Amino acid sequence: MSETGHSFQQKITSGDLGIYVGGKFVVGEGTSLSLVNPATEKEIGQLTSASAAQVNDVVDVARRAFIETEWSTDKELRASTLRTMADLVAEHADAIAYLDSIEAGKLVTDMLDGDVPDVVANLRFFADLVGRDEGRFLDERSGWGWVRGIPVGVVGGVLPWNFPIAMLCWKVAPALAAGNALVLKPSEDSTLSALLFAELATQAGLPDGILNVVAGDGPGTGSALGLHPDVDMLTFTGSGEVGRMFLEYSARSNLKKVSLELGGRAAYIVDGEHTVHLDTVAQDAVGAAFGVSGQNCTASSRLVFVGSDEDFQRFRAAVQDAAAGITVGDPMSPVTGMGPVINKEAHQRIIEWIDEAAGSGATLWQSPQELPEVGYYIAPTILENVPVEAQLGTGEIFGPVTQIIRAATREDAVRLVNDEPYGLASTVWCEDIGQAKWWADQIRVGTLAVNGYSEGTVATPFGGLRQSGFWGRDNGPEALAGYQEQMTVWISG
């Protein structure tokens, strides 16, 4: 257990300090939120969310900070503050890991090996980009001038719970690097690490009011941000259903820019003819399917095999063996490979979807290990022959469930990806370079991983095609551009 993380949680919940505005914690005046640990089903504490009036006040503070501080104009300040923030996040890795674990059931090992280093890398990457973002100079017969990216202004961020600190930073680092002020609403299922992050940002020298956090639920606090007439841009990661609401909120308010990173139904395609070690592939595919308990927008929820009968049987057996080897349990334990799902509702829904698919003819396999008696745990689950009419046939399960699908041809496998409304990510395993190029030319998704599950790096843009996203990207220079408007200055001459 992290002492710093625990005492931060005590400070926030005992003082009911769910709002961070202008460099200070404030008590909310909206509805009450119960923070529940999904591994124990016990309440950690309660927080009062921001009321609509408080959201107005916080947006005012952000607007004033954007106008009155040097943040939007001083690139050196931005670069050096982002670097110090990276150092402070690295120093507080244990505390952040602890907070995301007790609220969202994240594995502490995943947090320390993955999420927190990703945040640090992100802050450093965008600190480096600040100085290189020079714009363009033009000199022509009609005159001369320049084009440069300027900050959008006040950016609202509405966030999910599956990677609380990482998804926060995928928004915050480029938005701050571009010179904006922010008001963040973390998910009601994972609020604490966002509040700690905001406090660390102040310690790093971020001017008061540039990064603010409001605790709250979606319909109350989230919609207040989405509908706010003085928020210039809304950046969102979450479900498609809620993402669409932000487009409506924008149309009904001030036509704020909206960037949406939404769900997925990633495929993991194995080209059997060009794959030698099916056991290695099965290990990787199982990690891609059941990591973060399958609650990942790029989770491989469909394992698609193209190849001979014999290889298919071998692959299926290897996948089941690899899944049976996952230790499900306490997210704080270093030996755990998979923790709980986020909450009671998700637990019930996932089980209902599995039962429905199995009841309508799918073959069900579940890892035989014992699950803890308390906590929202589900065993790694693999289904075959899921009818398209079942919810699992077209929906995003967002849980530790994958399907094995045998595709008759490579073209059929491609269609399984491209004909989906989702187009976020997929993986292909194919050890022949020419054939791998063929796959890459055929498949249309935001990120295609080849010969190993991956979401790319901090330098590669991440976002979805089709209904997996709307405008904008996280990561890479493309993310920075997404938090800027392009302005032309033309001097007649």
Least separation in angstroms between residue 250's CB and ligand NAD is 12
Q: Which of 188, 297, 396, 430 is catalytic?
A: 297
Question: Does 430 participate in catalysis according to the annotation?
Answer: no
For ligand NAD, the closer of residues 134 and 248 by Cβ is: 248
Does 188 participate in binding ligand NAD (rule CB under 6 A)?
yes
Among 396, 400, 423, 472, binds ligand NAD (CB under 6 A): 396
List CB contacts of 483: < 8 A, sequence separation 6 or more.
151, 152, 155, 174, 175, 177, 178, 180, 233, 235
| Footprint of ligand NAD on 297-316 (CB under 6 A) | 297
Q: Which is nearer to ligand NAD, 398 or 429 (CB)?
A: 398
Instruction: Tell me which residues in 413-442 interact with ligand NAD (CB under 6 A).
Output: 424
User: Would you give the DSSP letter of residue 328?
Assistant: B
Question: With contacts defined by CB under 6 A, how many residues of the chain interact with ligand NAD?
Answer: 29
Of 16-24, 255-263, 303-311, 325-333, the window that binds ligand NAD (rule: CB under 6 A) is 255-263
The structure tokens listed for 300 are 């491989």
Minimum Å gap between C-beta 311 and ligand NAD is: 31
Q: Determine, following the binding rule CB under 6 A, whether residue 222 of this chain makes contact with ligand NAD.
A: yes
Residue 226 carries which side chain, given as an amino acid letter?
A: G
Q: Enter the DSSP assignment of 462.
A: B
3-state secondary structure 227-274: CCCCCCEEEEECCHHHHHHHHHHHHHCCCCEEEEECCCCEEEEEEHHH
Question: Which residue among 226, 307, 329, 375 contacts ligand NAD (CB under 6 A)?
Answer: 226
Give the residue with the Cβ less far from ligand NAD, 199 or 261.
Answer: 261
With a CB cutoff of 8 Å and minimum separation 6, the contacts of 258 are 233, 234, 235, 236, 246, 247, 250, 470, 471
Looking at the Cβ atoms of 2 and 162, the one nearer to ligand NAD is: 162
Check: CB of residue 285 under 8 Å from CB of residue 304: no
Query: Angle, nearest 10°, between helix axes 3-15 and 93-104?
Result: 60
- Contact region with ligand NAD (CB under 6 A), list: 30-38, 124-132, 236-244, 273-281: 236-244
Alpha carbon distance 367, 321 (integer Å) = 9
Confirm or reject binding of residue 187 to ligand NAD (CB under 6 A): yes
What is the spatial distance between Cα 247 and Cα 330, in angstroms, rounded to a whole number?
A: 39
Binding characters for ligand NAD, 397-416, by CB under 6 A (x = yes)? -x------------------
Which of 259-267, 309-317, 353-361, 385-393 is the region at the interface with ligand NAD (rule: CB under 6 A)? 259-267
Q: How far is the CB of 302 from ligand NAD (least distance, A)?
A: 14
Q: Residues near 176 by Cβ (< 8 Å), separated by ≥ 6?
A: 78, 81, 82, 126, 182, 206, 210, 211
Query: Cβ 309 to ligand NAD, closest distance in Å?
Result: 34
CA pair distance 306, 299, nearest whole angstrom: 20
C-alpha span between 165 and 295 (Å, rounded): 15
Q: Does 262 bind ligand NAD (CB under 6 A)?
A: yes
- Told to judge if 310 belongs to the known catalytic residues of this protein, a careful annotator would answer no
Q: How far is the CB of 3 from ligand NAD (least distance, A)?
A: 29
Closest approach of ligand NAD to the CB of residue 357, in Å: 19
Backbone angles phi, psi at 47, to 5 degrees: -135, 145
Residue found under tokens 């429905």? 356
Binding site for ligand NAD (CB under 6 A): 158-162, 167, 185, 187-188, 217-219, 222-223, 226, 237-239, 242, 245, 261-264, 297, 396, 398, 424, 464
Residues annotated as catalytic are: 261, 297
